[in-house]
């Protein structure tokens, strides 16, 4: 009985390994997406690497801060022959994390209101973004 259990467990392990998905070691994520609602609110997401390597000639994104101005986000996304522009100024809560955003090498997602205030910023790091 003990041998039968060992063989059954071995067969189960082999079947599991054969059915497992491929390993994604070395997988990198590059993305650049933005949208704007009719009222002017919207979101941009992706990675700075994704914006830099985007096929659109004028596509770019940046997080900026100068000593006398509020933290500022700007992006341009070119699709075909059309370039659309996106920007917002950080509110106090979002601006508190701006230095992290300026040095970030992973995925980001930023939301802004119809008034142009950046009100939400998500920063995600992971090994898939290590080629920045």
pLDDT in tens, 17-64: 344 444 444 445 678 999 999 999 999 999 999 999 999 989 999 999
Residue 91 has pLDDT above 50, yes or no: yes
Q: Which residues contact 85 (CB under 8 A, 6 or more apart)?
A: 74, 75, 76
Any domain includes 25: no
* 28 vs 25: CA distance, rounded Å: 9
Residue 71 placed within a domain: yes
Full residue range of the structural domain in which residue 53 is found:
32-124
pLDDT at 68: 80
- Is residue 4 one of the residues assigned to a domain? no
Q: Report yes or no on 54 lying in a domain.
A: yes
Asked whether residue 7 is assigned to any structural domain, the reply reads no
pTM of the model: 0.74
- Assign residue 41 the CATH number of its domain: 2.40.50
Indicate the number of domains in the chain.
1
Is residue 4 predicted with pLDDT exceeding 80? no
CA angle (29 as vertex; 17, 124 as ends), nearest 5: 100
């Amino acid at each position: 009985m003990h041998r039968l259990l060992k063989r059954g467990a071995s067969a189960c392990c082999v079947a599991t390994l054969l059915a497992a998905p491929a390993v994604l070691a070395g997988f990198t994520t590059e993305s650049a997406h933005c949208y704007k609602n009719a009222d002017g609110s919207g979101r941009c997401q992706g990675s700075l690497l994704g914006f830099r390597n985007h096929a659109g000639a004028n596509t770019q994104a940046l997080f900026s801060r100068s000593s006398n101005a509020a933290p500022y986000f700007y992006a341009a996304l070119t699709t075909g022959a059309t370039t659309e522009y996106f920007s917002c100024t950080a509110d106090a809560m979002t601006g508190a994390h701006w230095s992290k955003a300026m040095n970030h090498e992973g995925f980001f997602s930023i939301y802004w209101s119809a008034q142009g205030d950046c009100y939400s910023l998500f920063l995600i790091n992971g090994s898939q973004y290590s080629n920045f």
